[in-house]
Amino acid sequence: MIKVVILGSGNVATHLTKAFVTSKKVEVSQVYTRSNISNKIEKIDYTNDLNNLKNADVYIISISDDAIANFSKQLNLKNKLVVHTSGSVAMQDLECNARKGIFYPLQTIHKKSKLKFKNVPICLETESEKDYILLEKLAKSISKKVFKIDSEQRKHLHLAAVFVNNFTNHLYKIGNDICNEKNVPFEILKPLIKETANKIKYITPEEAQTGPAKRKDHKTIQKHLSLLQNKQQEIYNLLSNSISNNELTK
C-alpha cells in the first residue's frame, strides 16, 4: 500500500484524490487544504495545518504553478518524497530539503468533466531511480499511460500542450463567433471538430493537413479574408502562411 498525502484541493488535486481512492494499491492518508471545501470526499482526513501532516510515502503538491516554490518552503518533510503536478514548474523549484519529483498528469481537467484517469498520461521525474520506481507504481495504479519525462522535455511538452489545447480551443471560439454572426448553429461543426481530433490517431498531422492554404488556393483564401474582421484576418493570414510555407520547405 502506497500512502499519499495530497496538498491542495483544486481541480487536479480533487480528480487525483478521487482516482487514488478507487485504487486498491493506494491509501490517501490525508488532504491538506486551506479552503473550506463543501464536497469533502468520504472517509478522508482533511487538515489545514501544515505542522500536522501525517506520515506518507509520497506528498503531492497540487496547487497553482506560481505558488509552488513558496509553498514548498513551508514544508518540513526532510528526506520524504515530495512531488508537484505542474507542467511548467521545474523539479528544482521545489524548495525543501526533501527528495524531489514530478507527477504531471497531462490533461485538461474541468470540474464538470467525468475524467477517466486511466487514459490520462502521467509524466514522471525523480532525482533517484529508487524514487522513480515508487512513483511509477503510484502512477500505474491509476493510469495505463506513464512516461519518464525530464524537466527540459516537460517544458516543451507543456508548451506543445498550449498549442493543441489552449490555442485550438481559441480557434473553436473563432469558429463559433463566425457562425453566430450569420445565425448558423455551431452544432454543425462539432462532428468536424471531433473527426479532426480523431484523424491524427492513425495519420500524422502533416499527412492530415487539407484546406485552401495547403492547396495554395489563393482565390478561396482571398474570399475568406474579405469575410473576416481585423484580428481574425490576421490569424487567418498567419496560419495560412505557416501552412503554405511548410509545403514550400518540404
CB of 70 to its own copies, least distance (A): 14
Residues 223, 208: Cα–Cα separation, whole Å: 23
CB of 216 to its own copies, least distance (A): 12
Q: Which is nearer to its own copies, 118 or 130 (CB)?
A: 118
Q: What does the block give as the cell for 1?
A: 500500500
Q: Which is nearer to its own copies, 34 or 190 (CB)?
A: 190
Contact 94, 88 (CB under 8 A): no
Q: Which is nearer to its own copies, 133 or 227 (CB)?
A: 227
| 63-97 core/surface letters (b: 16 or more CB in 10 A; e: else) | beeeebbebbeebebeebbbbbbbbbbbbebbebe
CB of 105 to its own copies, least distance (A): 10
Q: What are the C-alpha distances in Å from 208 to residues 172, 195, 202, 226? A: 18, 11, 9, 26
CB of 226 to its own copies, least distance (A): 10
Q: Which is nearer to its own copies, 3 or 140 (CB)?
A: 140
CB of 221 to its own copies, least distance (A): 9
Q: Which is nearer to its own copies, 44 or 179 (CB)?
A: 179
Contact 75, 50 (CB under 8 A): yes
Q: Which residue has the cell 491509501?
A: 27
